[in-house]
Amino acid sequence: MQPNRLKSYTLVIVQFVCLVLIAITGPILARNPLWLLVEVFALVFAVWALLAVRIGNINITPDVRHNSQLVRSGPYRWLRHPIYAALLLGALALVVDTPTWWRAAIWIVLLGDLLIKLHYEERMLADHFPDYAAYMQASKRLIPGIY
């Protein structure tokens, strides 16, 4: 599957717009200690995933780089998209901590965007890496043991 640059950049723009809107429509740090803990966990989880994937493998778009490697260490042992999971969890903590219908709607758009993005990315990863199908069988997309 050849990457569709317009689709790739549109998905990234929607993702960042949603994250910025959630950030500017309420506090950036959750006020409730439980949600702050969830937010910190999401941040630590995202950093762990970034360290596992290594800087040379990071790509802001869902397009697969020609010289990329399939990472199956760190959180990638259990989740194929741990950074997306961390973004969703951290944003959810902020929305639940300071809920408005507007923030909830933005989070739902973010969820839809990231689901579309990860399915699109997985089709390209499966084409690029012969062992990606086996990796899909051994891991979940976003939620350990569930999805």
Flag whether 117 is in a domain.
yes
Angle 52-58-62 from CA coordinates, rounded to 5°: 120
Flag whether 22 is in a domain.
yes
3-class state of residue 79 by DSSP: strand
Q: Is the pLDDT of residue 129 over 90?
A: yes
Q: Which residue has the tokens 């200690």?
A: 33
pLDDT attached to residue 109: 98
Flag whether 144 is in a domain.
no
| pTM for the full predicted model | 0.93
- Tens digit of each residue's pLDDT (9 = 90 or more) over 23-74: 999 999 999 999 999 999 999 999 999 999 987 778 889 998 888 889 999 9
Residue 96, domain extent: 5-55+71-138
CB 52 within 8 A of CB 73: yes
